[in-house]
A = this chain, B = another copy of it.
């Protein structure tokens, strides 16, 4: 079979370089074009010297014609860019995976409120498939347009999923206390993410409201089939990669023991190649998934009371972005779901 002809729009940010790192070793992909207005003409390995010797391509000016010749186009662009180009590509028969947020939220008015712009192609939002394979695998296989989930939403949804599907918890007070490495803030030149500002310190941010909140709520409510009251607090953590989500919920009275919850998580994810339910009593560390597409999860019921605590870790740039995009590509093109994603986490 011929390789998939792939293109990338954007690609100068951390999501982009991570996509390149994974595709460099993907056996079934032929990267044909990567566009960047600002870096046109530059070899990607000049911008990302880790790729020297692994990736020969250079950035080119955005060119819809070249992208239309691809089987698949990834958008690794800021929010609001993909929606302007997607209709033309889709109509030309190109599949699209958007790593930004343009197609994640079904309610257009909610999206426009949180992202502060008018959506350019609401019709495409309706047909877009939310690319969380553990929930939407069959739809992803048929999708033309895939909305790749956000990093926090991936970690939180996978952690709450078995509890909500089984209606084991009260949904009037869910807490998602999430911690992200600084790469989640992107490669932009901002004072707040300088080493001297962000290392040796820890802080919550965006407590009044973060754009991933409506995305998470949408996902949890779909899982639970009713409204949930979620408090989501993200934190900036002095490290490059990794998200840890500590999730809190009250069990409905007299429902299940922690052993039963453990078993339920194990069953829910037993066939999932990228979700690893740890043995009872575990505390997952973000470094155990560094560079890989895995989500590792542990469940606790501390002090044997009715509070359930779920711990969920991912690499925000992999399962939280580029790796999940490749997983979605594998599904959409009927490849081995794990192709190119067998990378062993780098530890220490």
Interface set of A (CB-CB < 8 Å, partner B): 14, 17, 21, 24-25, 48-54, 173, 175, 177, 179, 181-183, 187-191, 193-205, 207-209, 213, 229, 231-233, 235, 237-242, 244, 246, 248, 250, 276, 278, 281, 283-292, 294, 296, 300, 302-303, 305, 307, 309, 311, 313, 342-348
Contact = CB atoms under 8 A, between A and B. Distances in A.
A201 B231 contact: no
A288 B209 contact: no
Nearest to A182: B195
Contact of A283 (B190, B203, B290): B203
Contacts of A175: 175, 177, 248
Contacts of A309: 204, 207, 231, 233
Nearest to A346: B291
Contacts of A179: 179, 202, 235
- Taking the full assembly, how many copies of this chain does it contain? 4
Given A52-B288, A347-B48, A207 B302 contact: yes
B199 A189 contact: no
Contacts of A49: 284-285, 288, 296, 347
29 contacts: A17-B348, A21-B347, A49-B288, A49-B347, A50-B292, A173-B173, A187-B191, A187-B196, A189-B191, A190-B194, A194-B194, A195-B199, A196-B348, A199-B240, A200-B242, A200-B290, A201-B239, A201-B286, A201-B287, A202-B286, A203-B283, A204-B244, A204-B246, A207-B302, A207-B309, A229-B305, A232-B302, A237-B238, A290-B346
Contacts of A198: 195
Contacts of A286: 201-203
